[in-house]
Amino acid sequence: MEQRVDDGLSPFTTYTRSEWAALREDMPMTLSLDEVNRLRSMHDRLDISEVEDIYLPLSRLLSLYVAATQRLHRAQQRFLGGEEAKLPYIIGVAGSVAVGKSTTARVLQALLARWTNVPKVDLVTTDGFLLPNAVLEREGLMEKKGFPESYDLPGLLLFLSDVKAGRRPVRAPIYSHLVYDVVPNRWVEVDRPDILIVEGLNVLQTGRLPKDGKAIPFVSDFFDFSVYLDADENVLRGWYVDRFLTLRGTAFRDPKSYFHRYSKLSDQEARNTATSIWERINLVNLDENILPTRQRADLILKKGASHMVEQVALRKL
């Protein structure tokens, strides 16, 4: 199969959908149609063919990467004369609002957990590490929710450090999309998984490096592999508006919903509101913070307007 490179300087090799699908080889399909439907978010178009063509080859690749990383870890431990403790493999999933990160993360979790050695695969979203609304309001950051400055970064870094060190159990806060806030005194426990998937908007983001050379950790420093979900801005905007319209007639109708006030909007009012939110908040975050991290990923999945992945770019080793 021909491998097509963007240009001589690109760190990626790009594949068409059919070229990438051929890399599945004998990776078995372990999900039923009902399971695929349950894993799909409301506005995604995930189907069996998407799992077969895109996610099974990725599952095969990750099985090779995980095995290689474990061998390297054991070799290093033997060199250092230490104990061969279990090393969690951490996968980051990044991308814009409405691009389908949650679906991708759930599909990967389901496929990886069904490898023949049946690894323990946990999934955490960085939403739980958003600062509480009360703090965001006090700091004037509600319009910056989802931007890097709206997260409890020290808490997220400590969580990842503890997971990587094999501490048990490690707790991550829980976020409620219904009330649009972190849930007080509720946690999800991560207890020494073989693989941890971390999904979030800005997980590949870096900060300004200090001139004195001091160590400044980034979230991505703890990743062994990272996936960036990509789509053109006009496509993302359309998906966001469509999702807003769907939620207006579903989740927003719940009186407990933070966005309950939007449930009574007309179609045009809802479109105008969603477009305003997109342009004022989500597009700015995409342009300033999310899109610039795309080239830091190990794998880029480029989606078309149909929600299907049309091109895959894999970082060269």
pLDDT band at 1 (very low <50, low <70, confident <90, very high): very low
Q: Beta-strand (E) ranges in the chain?
A: 4-5, 12-16, 89-95, 121-125, 170-176, 181-190, 195-199, 225-230, 299-303, 309-315
Residue 259 has pLDDT above 70, yes or no: yes
Span 122-151, average pLDDT: 97
pLDDT mean across residues, the chain: 93
> CA nearest 111: which of 173, 44, 181, 46?
46
Contact between residue 152 and residue 131 where contact means Cβ atoms under 8 Å apart:
yes
Helices assigned H by DSSP within 118-177: 133-138, 153-164
What is the model's pLDDT at position 4? 52
Residue 33 has pLDDT above 60, yes or no: yes
The b-or-e profile of 17-53 (16+ CB within 10 A means b, else e) is bebbbebbeebeeebeeeebeebbeebbebeeebbeb
**40 or 50: whose pLDDT is higher?**
50
- pLDDT per position as a tens digit, 199-246: 999 999 987 777 888 878 899 999 999 999 999 999 999 999 999 999
Q: Could you give the CA distance from residue 86 to residue 174 in angstroms, rounded to a whole number?
A: 26
More confident residue, 9 or 291: 291
User: Quick one: pLDDT at residue 43?
Assistant: 73
- Distance (Å, rounded) from C-alpha 198 to C-alpha 92? 5
**What pTM, to 2 d.p., does this model score?**
0.94
Share of the chain above pLDDT 70, in %: 97
255 or 42, greater pLDDT: 255
pLDDT at 8: 67
Query: For the chain, which residues make up each domain, given as ranges?
Result: 85-206+215-312
Q: What is the pLDDT of residue 2?
A: 45
Q: How far apart are CA 84 and CA 75, in angstroms?
A: 9
- 94-116: average pLDDT: 96
Check residue 203 and give its pLDDT: 96
The answer to whether residue 125 scores a pLDDT higher than 90 is: yes
Query: 3-class SS at 58?
Result: helix
Query: What pLDDT, on the 0 to 100 scale, is given for residue 293?
Result: 96
pLDDT band of residue 82 (cuts 50, 70, 90) is: confident
Write the CATH number of the domain with boundaries 85-206+215-312: 3.40.50.300
Distance CA 50, CA 36 (A): 10
